[in-house]
Amino acid sequence: MNDDLFGDSRPCDEATEALINRLYGLPINYVGNKKKLALQILGMLADEKVEFQDVFDAFSGSCVVSLVFSHMGKDVTANDLLAMSSLAAVFYLVLREFPLNAKDIEGLLEPSDGAYPTPMYDKYRWKFFLPAEAKLLDSFRHNLYKILGRSNVQGLYTGDRIDGGKVCPSLVLEDGALVVPEKIKDFTFVGSFAMHALCTHVLQKCFLGGRYYNGQTICSLRARVKRGRTDKNIREHGNDMRTIIHRLRGALMEHQPASAIFASRPKGRMSVFNCDVIRLLESGRVEAELAYFDPPYGGDSSDYSTLYGICEEFIRGCDPMTTPSFAEASKRFCDKAEYEKNFSAMLDLSRKFPIWLFSFNESSYASIEGITSQIRRFRHDIVVRPIKNYGYNYRKRTHSSDRESEFLILARG
């Protein structure tokens, strides 16, 4: 922690401070994740003497902020439109212990027998993945389906729906999505964790810091090979499955130390939604004293459904943009022309939350003055705190003075 930033006043207890320090070691390759902002968020809330117990994280993303609040003993409701993000929330907020042992992992990584859907191989070999990598992704997905199928479950849990049902994207390519009405059982968390871990691994190996491929964070295979981001054995022997299994198993096991920490945290009420935020607010299902809004900023890299499109497709078993409701929701906060209208609608639906906290930066859909003016239509007591020289790892700048400022906006009254 930067002692000069807070002097003798500490924004959190030692256990939470230790957790925030550990966050830097977690494999979170997520554009806009708040690992570096978590401490400043707590500092602002402490300085402004904000008291609260219930938190609504409306755009949970990497789940960093929800995780910190849950560790502090707060009751947390996390929501995100992306299944990839809500899977992270299920793992970090709901699970209390690591759900897979080494034998389970090896079983997931074994080559599958027989005929099964191979969308990653058919669509993305040589584009994003080497053939052996694409085969392993399809095999992994099929093996997971077999494990869940033996337990009479047809999908994996990614959060709650607006009507209270469970969102369980099917692992069968043709089935779209379905609902498991009974209480979600422990073995579905195995599927949720496995998918989350594999997507984390893919992003770590295939994200080259802003070198997007048609808007996706995952880079082209050509760029990855050029940067040496593929294993030598795989480059020379594309069918060396053992090497890939070793690397993937390592990525899965990286979560084990983290889960041991999170399992011992205070057990407040944790809820996870996998919903369009506007429709969720309209439903009235969320109660909270503090609502934290970290929406896409409306500048560069704001179309998260495209940024992480391949992960969404892998989890859901189909392209989510073919679902009209998802396609509509995914564009609410990436088109600057529509942003202000949707942002105002969200604020109007959030009047019942006494405290609002927002994150934006200098490249947002409007200036900070413009954003604050829009918030002021609904709240009068507003505090803006700039976080100077906030560094984005995926943006290269020539001088430290070129680094952007992040802004926290607290609104009450």
Average pLDDT along the chain: 76
Asked if the model's pLDDT at residue 209 lies above 70, the reply is no
Which class for 176: exposed (0-12), middle (13-18), buried (19 or more C-beta within 10 A)? middle
Q: 325-355: per-residue pLDDT in tens? A: 899 999 999 877 789 999 999 999 999 999 9
| Average pLDDT estimate for 383-407 | 63
d(C-alpha 86, C-alpha 93), whole Å = 10
Q: Is the pLDDT of residue 373 over 90?
A: yes
What pLDDT sits at residue 316?
82
- pTM for the whole structure: 0.84
316: which 2 tokens?
Answer: 């859901």
Residue 175 is given by DSSP the state: G
d(C-alpha 233, C-alpha 240), whole Å: 7
Average pLDDT over residues 112-121: 86
Residue 377's pLDDT is: 97
Please check whether residue 133 is in contact with residue 150, taking contact to mean a CB–CB distance below 8 angstroms: no
Residue 185 has pLDDT above 70, yes or no: no
Domain positions in the chain are: 3-412
Overall average pLDDT of the 221-246 stretch: 60
Give the Cα separation of 366 and 175 in Å (integer): 41
Instruction: Indicate whether 218 pLDDT > 70.
Output: yes
Residue 146: per-residue pLDDT: 77
Residues 6+ positions from 156 with CB-CB distance below 8 Å? 87, 144, 148, 168, 169, 171, 188, 191, 192, 195, 315
pLDDT (tens digit per residue) in 24-70:
666 666 665 577 788 889 999 999 999 999 999 999 988 889 988 98
For the chain, percent of residues with pLDDT exceeding 90: 27
The pLDDT assigned to 142 comes to 86
